[in-house]
């Protein structure tokens, strides 16, 4: 094989390898994009879907019927652990005839990411709390926040103890 043929053969192999690399990279990018889109679609939850899963009764119906809470406004600070460490979440609830008629919470973190998730929770939590019977409220995930509801539930448990008659 003369030097001309050898150089054509090498350049053809180099170009072919480069093309395979670009095609492989393109395939990886497409798989990543479609994977993310699929994940993002699964993560989208409507408010109706949230309402269906956001509240789960804490006690059996028979036991809940026997309980009565004193009317009034009660406050407690719920605690939970975030990836950044311990967090506290102040909650104030007004109870009338075993129904939560008003609720107030506040962002109470110095960590920016915790502030973000507490803010996300605050934006939508009232839908799952106000107008609900005290014993029917057990928040699991609200507006993408799954740890702040734990702090809310902890404060709610304290409030239930304060309000029991």
Sorted by sequence, the CB contacts under 8 Å of residue 155 that are 6+ apart come out as 76, 77, 78, 89, 90, 91
Question: Which residues in the chain land under pLDDT 50?
Answer: 2-11, 39-45, 52-53, 55
Q: What is the pLDDT of residue 23?
A: 78
Helix (H/G/I), strand (E/B), else coil: 144:
coil
pTM: 0.61
Could you tell me the residue ranges of all domains in the chain? Answer: 1-44, 47-163
Half-sphere exposure of 140 (CA within 13 A, CB side): 11
Give, in order, the Cα–Cα distances in Å from 105 to each of 67, 93, 120, 126, 155: 25, 9, 12, 10, 10
Give, in order, the Cα–Cα distances in Å from 83 to each of 105, 131, 138: 21, 32, 22
For domain 47-163, give the CATH number: 3.90.1010
């Amino acid at each position: 094989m003369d030097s001309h043929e050898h150089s054509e053969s090498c350049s053809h192999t180099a170009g072919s390898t480069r093309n395979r690399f670009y095609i492989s990279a393109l395939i990886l990018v497409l798989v990543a994009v479609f994977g993310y889109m699929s994940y993002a679609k699964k993560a989208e939850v409507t408010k109706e879907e949230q309402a269906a899963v956001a509240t789960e009764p804490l006690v059996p119906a028979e036991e809940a019927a026997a309980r009565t809470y004193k009317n009034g406004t009660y406050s407690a600070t719920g605690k939970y652990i975030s990836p950044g460490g311990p967090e506290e979440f102040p909650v104030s609830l007004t109870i009338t005839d075993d129904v939560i008629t008003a609720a107030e919470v506040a962002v109470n973190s110095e960590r920016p990411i915790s502030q973000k998730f507490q803010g996300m929770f605050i934006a939508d939590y009232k839908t799952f709390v106000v107008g609900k019977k005290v014993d029917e409220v057990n928040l699991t995930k609200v507006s993408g926040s799954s740890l702040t509801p734990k702090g809310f539930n902890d404060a709610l448990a304290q409030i239930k103890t304060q309000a029991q008659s």
